[in-house]
Structure 1
Amino acid sequence: MRKILLFLSFCILISCKNEKSSNLYSYNLKATGSVKSFTLDSDVRYNAFYLYTFKDDKGKEYLSFLNYRTNQILFYDLKTTDFLFKLDLDSEGPNGIVQASGFYIKDFDNIYMSSYAYSGLIRVDTSSHIVQKIPYGTTDKGYNVVPSYTPSLHPYIPPIIIDGKIYITQQNAVQFSPATKTPLSVAIDTVQKKCEGLPLTYGILTDEELRANDTGFSRIFNGEDFVYSFYVNEDIIIASVDHSKVRRIKVKSKYIESPTGIQERSEQGPKLNLELARYGDLVYDPYREVYYRFVYPKTSLEDNIRWWGKSVYGRKLFSVIILNKEFEIIGETLFPEAIYNSYVFFVHKDGLYISRDYQMLYGQSEDYMTFELFNLVEGDV
Structure 2
Amino acid sequence: MKYNTLGRTDISVSEICLGTMTWGSQNSEAEAFEQMDYALDNGVNFFDTAELYPTTPLSPETYADTERMIGNWFAKSGKRDQVVLATKVAGAGRPYIRGGAPITAAAVREAVDSSLQRLKTDYIDLYQIHWPNRGHYHFRQVWNYDPSTQDRAQALADITEKLEALGDCVKAGKIRAIGLSNETAWGTQKYLSIAEAKGLPRVATVQNEYNLLYRAYDLDMAELSHHETIGLLAYSPLAGGILSGKYQGGARPVGSRGSINSDIGGRLQPLQEPATKAYLDMAAKHGFDPSALAIAFCLTRPFMASVIIGATSMAQLKTDIAAADITLTPDMLKEIAKIHRTYPMPI
The alignment's TM-score, normalised by the length of structure 1, stands at 0.30
Which has more radius of gyration?
1
Flag the structure with more relative contact order, 1 or 2, with Cα contacts below 8 A and sequence separation at least 6.
2
Q: Pick the structure with more helix per residue.
A: 2
